[in-house]
Structure 1
Amino acid sequence: MQFKNTKAFAQQLDSEDALRSYRESFVFPKVNGKDVIYFTGNSLGLQPKSAQTYVDDVMKDWRELAVEGHFYAQKPWWDYHERLAKPLAKIVGAKPEEVTVMNTLTVNLHLLMVSFYRPKGNRYKIICEEKAFPSDQYMLQSQVRFHGYDPKEAIVEIKKREGEHNFRQEDVLNVIKEVGDACALVLLGGVNYYTGQVFDMKTITKVGHEVGAFVGWDLAHAAGNISLELHDWDVDFAAWCSYKYMNSGPGNASGCFIHERFHGKKDIPRFEGWWGTEKETRFMMNPEFVPMPNADAWQLSNAPILAMAPYLASLEMFEEVGMEALIQKRNKIVAYLEFVLKDIDTQVSSEFEIITPVSQEERGTQISVFLHGEGRKLFEYLMKNGVITDWREPNVIRLAPAPFYSSYEDMYEFGQILKKGILEKKK
């Protein structure tokens, strides 16, 4: 398709958008009396209007049933989390029994490390990417120290080549092969939070297994954004937050994937709690832990129902639409955003540099842009004029048009505001 950077063309694309009605299912903040242009679904998704109803339902059950809500609520609390497994399994490419929801992302990664970071003898090293998200860095460092190792020795970082913004696939695979039988775990972010680069998870997982390591993925920026096939890719474990592309609310509950080959084992290292024990005998308060025959065996405590309610509300929209349709729109709207950026760049004689990979297979909905010659003042101008985006040092803005609620007209209007901000600065 030949794009045009005009309002009429953007409106035409919106009129042809099969998902356009879902925009009305979300609440937009306002700046200067107008709905914002929202580019930070990669940080916190907008609130679904249905979330309030789902939370109110729980509050009503609590008010009217109190403790009996565990068994007699319309959606009983004792198995509430099980309702999230099926729609989540479709999003991440898993079997429903391989998915559970509990805690928050870094907590879950720590808990999963109990099972999947088992250093012994010469096999103690962890491979991660250079400048992983800080929480992952802190988590990995504390884990290896807990096991008595020096992070400088135990953690091997895959580095970008000098002058390049993204990781090369061959470099990732070569590091895994070089570390070889000293590698206990490969743990990477499925989508790099800074550049938006998507890793080839299938191939990396295969090579990690070939050297005898466990392979896990932090899918914070991947779940609900890109196509995932965790079961078929033979991934050992993964975890993701729910508040970015899945719109569950700030700091909300995390999803976990544990491949079915690890289910039903009493002898696997694992921190355990009563919600992970056999459902049929859970309330008999037996002293012996009998693990659930699925990913729920990693559950510790009863589910935070008020947190899960808005998550379930959002997941029901994912169930209606499906990842295939979301990705189809994602690809088109990101391509249009890229076109608008490049067109504005020529009009203002600036020096934008898109550092997200060009290949569709290596990017999702995020575009990261170096604003050469511009500074934080441009970012502040965008924010004051209703463009909610994200600034990363030294000079990068991250733009993530979520397909559920972003419009093509948003992309056009963003370009006009960006152009005005640059030209005003040059006066």
Structure 2
Amino acid sequence: SLGALEPSPDHQWIAYAVDIDGSERHEIHFKNLSTGEIAADTIKGTHTSLEWAEGQERIVFYTMLDEHDRPDRAFRHKLGEDAAKDTLLYKEADPQLFMYLSKTRSDRFIFLECHGKVTSEVRFIEAAKPLSEFKLIEARRRGVIYHAAHHEEKFLITTNDEVQNFRLVEAPVTDPKAANWKEIRRGTTTLQIEGVDSFKNYWVIHERENGLPQLRVVDLKQKSEHLIEFSEPTYELSGESNAEFETDIYRLAYTSLVTPNTVYDYDLRSREKKVMKTQKIPSGYDPSKYQSEYVFATAEDGTKVPISIVYKKEGFKKDGSHPLYLYGYGSYGMSMPARFSTVRLSLIDRGFVYAIAHIRGGSEMGRAWYEGAKFLTKKLTFTDFVSSAQFLAKEGFTREGNIAISGGSAGGMLVG
């Protein structure tokens, strides 16, 4: 399988990482795009993380796996040289942390991030100075997570150092340590800041408020901001790769329990959305025949638990007569998206109500939603799910004894 595919800055070469035996241990190869020649350079035992330096030297940074298949070392390789002599740039000793490389959208910096569930640390190097050493943004502190992006002479950093639901700060690239962080935007008990996409004239801040994702556009020239608007009560929204740094167009993906997967190009200046692609339903599909709702159940301790619901409008009554299919997960801080699926249509068309209980253990309602339901408080994931089912019956979406429950992976533990 193909794990990475990165063209060189001059588009003359392509570096790619392949797993040829299903072990998830990759080997990196290099292909000359002008001649079709595969270079003799082969680097084995790698992860999928690799980035080219800028310039004509044809230098690549990559990560290697340890004996437990954890990416723990970063190397520098020059095309045409013996990979056995590649320079080790950094080795991560903490077995709880994983390493990956990324290049900023501006192409100016390469980041080396070591991250775990409760800690992260980022180093950086100028992509045009590949022989220099990686510099540290801020030393790791247990419980503190941060991620970085780049804009002009500053880094944009998303961190939970002072607020559980993260804040967005800026720091000078010349001295980006925490003492120099200047706050831009702060999370609240209902608003979580999840990251930022940086462009020449705009920032797009990824947020989640009251359980729902949202994209906030900051116009740096006009010194204004707005949210990209969608009207459905529950949905899933995310940015695509958006590789261009100098652009007014932001590509995003949108879907809901009613709306098939749709890709938009959003004009950051005019605020107009243009549909680029919509998921095709070969058997035919009319979204106007279906209705979604976003409601809140009350958990045993009084906490409000969000639930995403969809049903067919025709024949639907909140009288308890409908069977209901309830899905849950609630683990590892993963938010369950309210996305479209053709698989469930046959049930809904026959009168089923489909619901997703966004129970604690995920991150739908912020970082506390995850941290408050693990280890000794993991029981809350289960009791939230029960409370969600009881609420749906009480509100007439179904009745007790007429509910099917489902969960995959960690959700299997929930329902099993």
**For the pair shown, which has the larger CA radius of gyration, 1 or 2?**
2
- Bigger relative contact order (CA 8 A; separation at least 6): 1
TM-score between the two structures when normalised by the length of structure 1: 0.25
TM-score between the two structures when normalised by the length of structure 2: 0.26
| Structure number with higher strand proportion | 2
| Structure number with higher helix proportion | 1
